[in-house]
């Protein structure tokens, strides 16, 4: 999560704690009911609005496949919202409980309310474009984003040089090193014994995430997976590769270059070599997102605040290199 969406959320929780304590104190008559205005605004604008701002900035661009239009305004929004809320509360308390000039307190309150209003407008300026005019392309068939077998036959003994990492999906490991199935099962992944669960679970989870969910030490598991597999453990049945999209339904074929509108799932199936670009720019965990199979190169780049053209150049560099070796 980026800095300012996180700061919005942290601030909202702090405001919630303060507002809750004030509510309890007013209910027990330990605090003057005049603080009701402060209590309401801490919870409404402090907690609810700040939480909405932070979550929206983090989630909506990823859901809609678009970047924030003016990211430089996000920190301005945060400080305007913070100054506005705190300023209103201070002005209200100063105007009601001290001998300070009521006119000064009133002007301070108006200025602070103006900051809060501007903060809301800044939010609208950034979020409304994300929500509008975002047609989502849906390819003829949504492929499962799993490791596709290389179009070229593997050299005998290649499995010995295959190194399993924490960012790999379970299905990829099982496809390239079927003997690891029982290693997974013995380590605590009992569900993998069921072929149906193995297919759905293996295609969605990377090793690191799966181990975190089950409380398994990922480093210990990697040592077992990359080490020599005992004879008893290697007797597990081979795992079938994830189903591919029929060739007639693919939007590209081997020999074509990738475009911004190429579905990521189609690209990975035709050019498995390009997965390294996605892992390098988005992280290995990106393959746990179902949308990666059907989103276009442009949409996934925008979702991760990357420049689509730069991602495309990286991908086509690898594609050209792979084709030149063919």
Tens of pLDDT, residue by residue over 62-87, are 777 677 888 899 999 999 999 999 99
State how far the Cα of 225 lies from the Cα of 231, in Å rounded to an integer. 13
pLDDT band per the 50, 70, 90 thresholds, residue 60: confident
Helix (H, G, I), strand (E, B) or coil at 152: coil
pTM score, two decimals? 0.47
Displacement of CA 194 from its chain's centroid (Å)? 29
Sequence-distant (6+) residues with CB within 8 A of 114 are: 84
Give residue 122's pLDDT: 96
Give residue 315's pLDDT: 94
User: Rounded mean pLDDT of 277-296?
Assistant: 69
Tell me the C-alpha to C-alpha distance, in Å, between residue 207 and each of 161, 169, 281: 19, 6, 19
**Best mean pLDDT range from 28-37, 42-51, 193-202, 288-297:** 42-51
pLDDT band per the 50, 70, 90 thresholds, residue 48: very high
- Given a cut of 50, is residue 195 above it in pLDDT? yes
- What would the two tokens of residue 140 be? 């003829």
User: Rounded mean pLDDT of 292-306?
Assistant: 76
Higher pLDDT: 287 or 305? It is: 305
Closest of 59, 69, 65 to residue 1, by C-alpha: 59
State how far the Cα of 278 lies from the Cα of 67, in Å rounded to an integer. 18
CB 99 within 8 A of CB 75: no
Sequence-distant (6+) residues with CB within 8 A of 75 are: 4
Helix (H, G, I), strand (E, B) or coil at 53: helix
- The DSSP code for 231 is T
CB 66 within 8 A of CB 295: no
Cα angle: 213, vertex 164, 274; to 5 degrees:
100
Closest of 139, 158, 147 to residue 278, by C-alpha: 147
Tell me the C-alpha to C-alpha distance, in Å, between residue 227 and each of 93, 156, 174, 232: 68, 19, 15, 14
Q: How confident is the model over 6-17, as pLDDT tens digits? A: 999 999 999 999
pLDDT band per the 50, 70, 90 thresholds, residue 228: confident
Q: How confident is the model over 238-250, as pLDDT tens digits? A: 334 344 556 667 7
State how far the Cα of 290 lies from the Cα of 270, in Å rounded to an integer. 18
- Given a cut of 70, is residue 294 above it in pLDDT? no
Give residue 319's pLDDT: 92
Q: Helix, strand, coil % (nearest 5) of the chain?
A: 70, 0, 30
Give percent of the chain above pLDDT 70.
73
State how far the Cα of 140 lies from the Cα of 120, in Å rounded to an integer. 40
Helix (H, G, I), strand (E, B) or coil at 206: strand
| H/E stretch holding 24 | helix 3-27
| 73-97 and 50-64 helices, crossing angle to 10° | 160
Q: How confident is the model over 97-153, as pLDDT tens digits? A: 555 567 788 888 899 999 999 999 999 999 998 888 544 444 444 444 444 444 444
CB 236 within 8 A of CB 184: no
């Amino acid at each position: 999560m980026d800095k300012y969406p996180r700061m919005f959320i942290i601030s909202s929780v702090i405001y919630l704690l303060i507002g809750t304590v004030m509510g309890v104190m007013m209910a027990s008559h330990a605090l003057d009911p005049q603080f009701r205005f402060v209590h309401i605004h801490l919870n409404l604008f402090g907690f609810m609005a700040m939480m909405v701002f932070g979550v929206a900035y983090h989630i909506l661009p990823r859901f809609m496949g678009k970047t924030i239009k003016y990211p430089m305004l996000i920190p301005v929004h945060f400080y305007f919202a913070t100054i506005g809320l705190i300023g209103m509360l201070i002005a209200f308390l100063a105007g009601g409980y001290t001998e300070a000039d009521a006119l000064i307190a009133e002007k301070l309150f108006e200025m602070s309310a103006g900051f809060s209003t501007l903060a809301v407008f800044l939010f609208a300026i950034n979020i409304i474009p994300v929500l509008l005019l975002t047609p989502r392309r849906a390819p003829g068939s949504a492929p499962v984003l799993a490791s596709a077998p290389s179009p070229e036959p593997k050299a005998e003994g290649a499995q010995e040089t295959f190194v399993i990492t924490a960012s790999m999906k379970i299905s990829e490991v099982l496809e390239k090193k079927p003997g690891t199935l029982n290693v997974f099962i013995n380590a605590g992944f009992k569900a993998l014994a069921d072929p149906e669960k193995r297919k759905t679970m293996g295609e969605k989870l990377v090793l690191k995430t799966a181990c975190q969910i089950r409380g398994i030490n990922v480093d210990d598991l990697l040592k077992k997976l990359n080490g020599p597999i005992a004879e008893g453990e290697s007797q597990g049945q081979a795992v079938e590769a994830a189903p591919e999209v029929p060739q007639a339904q693919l939007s590209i074929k081997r020999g074509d270059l990738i475009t911004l509108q190429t579905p990521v799932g189609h690209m990975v199936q035709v050019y498995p070599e390009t997965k390294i670009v996605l892992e390098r720019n988005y992280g290995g965990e990106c393959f746990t997102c179902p949308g990666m199979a059907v989103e276009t190169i442009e949409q996934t780049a925008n979702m991760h605040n990357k420049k689509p053209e730069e991602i495309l150049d990286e991908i086509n560099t690898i594609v050209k290199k792979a084709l030149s070796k063919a």
